[in-house]
Amino acid sequence: MTEHRTDNTHPSGTRNLSKAERIRFIDQRLQALYPNPPVPLDHSDPYTLLVAVLLSAQCTDERVNQVTPALFTLADSAHTMAQVAVDDIRAIIRPCGLSPQKSKAIKRLSEILVEEHNGTVPADMAILETLPGVGHKTASVVMAQAFGVPSFPVDTHIHRLAQRWGLSRGRNVVETERDLKKVFAKERWNDLHLQIIFYGREYCTARGCDGRVCDICRTCYPNRKHPKRVNKP
């Protein structure tokens, strides 16, 4: 009679990790790999970070970092950017894509910061989310990296890895953010956001790993036989 297995143990003796084990391993592994993760977007203050994050929508951080020196030479504060013509902003940021929308957003959010906040970026999530071109993810990055407020910005890359690692079954980035905040300590959120991004770029890419290739995927799920299907955000 064949023995019926009720756990995840493979006949070889290996087994998939439990959720608690996955959380602990992932946390420790990422901290070991990236103990002091830098902010990948070049900036000098909350305003330049806000603009850089806005530009990074559907664009690589590398490309943004190539574009922002010229932009910030032109204007590096809300007061100076508010005086620049939209067409001049657009001419510089065109390589980042979506330049018509992004240039108008940068111009208008700069005007609003001057009109309502004396040119200063407020450390307030709700206010940031009302600014043109600034969604929840952009506001979360600014709160985390400019002001040190615990946040867990989730983009499509983090959403994908959270699914591969069995940390969330979220149908979108909002649900995935909620799930990640539940399983990791609040004081780890800001670094983990960056650590997951760096790991995803280096080891668990969209094409390079399907949930069975990288070290974290193989350690968490040694018995996974098929590519991990990810809920599209």
In the block, which residue shows the tokens 């094409």? Answer: 207
Residue type, 55: L
The strand pairing partners of 9, in sequence order, are: 15
The residues annotated with a catalytic role in the active site are 137, 155
Give the type of residue at 59.
C
Task: List the beta bridge partners of residue 15.
Answer: 9
Count of other CB atoms within 10 angstroms of residue 191: 17
3-class secondary structure, 15: strand
* Closest C-alpha among 106, 54, 56, 55 to residue 81: 106
Sequence-ordered alpha helix ranges (H) in 35-185: 46-55, 61-74, 78-81, 86-93, 99-117, 125-130, 136-147, 156-164, 173-183
Within 13 Å of residue 108, how many CA atoms lie on the same side as its CB?
12
Residues 223, 227, 231, 233: is their CA dihedral positive or negative?
A: positive
Distance in angstroms (rounded) separating the CA atoms of residues 231 and 233:
6
The SS3 assignment for 180 reads helix
